[in-house]
């Protein structure tokens, strides 16, 4: 009898969690969504991430003087191929690893445009780790948000894939 009762309670709990998540658009564990954040674009204009709701997002911390910098080329190709299908790349320059992104936002914008013809959204330089970590990256790396992959960003070009529901 206790076994059946436990299954019934778990089923009810799951059902309530499912309804709550779908009606309110977020997980109970983390009361924030990726769409709750507003970040400045590379020209320092505020952009609400709500703009990207219902899209598949690849969020990447980037740097212009890193061994992985040529990934810009592949990222641009990926963006070009799938942008019409509701896919976007959000690039966040960061100078957290061996000062590999020393430029100003203007210099970063110029570099991305001239060197890699980047057309996906590039945002203002932020910090992705440490005491001055951006609230977005605090969210992305939190155990409540991302239990399987939580923790400190290890290097440039770390990627987060976000589905159309914001997970």
DSSP states along 137-164: HHHHH-TTT-TTS-S---STT-EEEE-T
Tell me the two tokens of residue 96. 């957290």
C-alpha 99/C-alpha 64 separation (Å) is 10
Which candidate in 3, 4, 66, 112 is catalytic? 66
Nearest to 31 by CA among 129, 142, 131: 142
Residue 112 is a catalytic residue = no
The number of angstroms, rounded, from the C-alpha of 53 to the middle of its chain's C-alpha atoms is 12
Active-site amino acid positions: 66
């Amino acid at each position: 009898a206790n076994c059946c009762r436990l299954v019934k309670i778990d089923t009810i709990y799951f059902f309530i969690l499912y309804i709550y998540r779908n009606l309110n658009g977020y997980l109970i564990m983390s009361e924030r969504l990726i769409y709750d954040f507003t970040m400045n674009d590379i020209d320092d204009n505020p952009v609400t991430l709500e703009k990207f709701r219902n899209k598949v997002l690849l969020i990447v911390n980037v740097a212009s003087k890193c061994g992985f910098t040529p990934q810009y080329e592949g990222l641009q190709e990926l963006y070009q191929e799938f942008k019409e299908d509701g896919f976007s790349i959000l690039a966040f320059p960061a100078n957290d690893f061996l000062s590999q992104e020393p430029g100003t936002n203007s210099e970063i914008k110029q570099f991305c445009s001239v060197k890699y013809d980047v057309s996906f959204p590039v945002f203002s330089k932020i910090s992705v780790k440490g005491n001055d970590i951006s609230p977005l990256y605090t969210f992305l790396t939190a155990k409540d948000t991302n239990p399987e992959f939580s923790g400190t960003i290890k290097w440039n070009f770390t990627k987060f894939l976000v589905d159309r529901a914001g997970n």
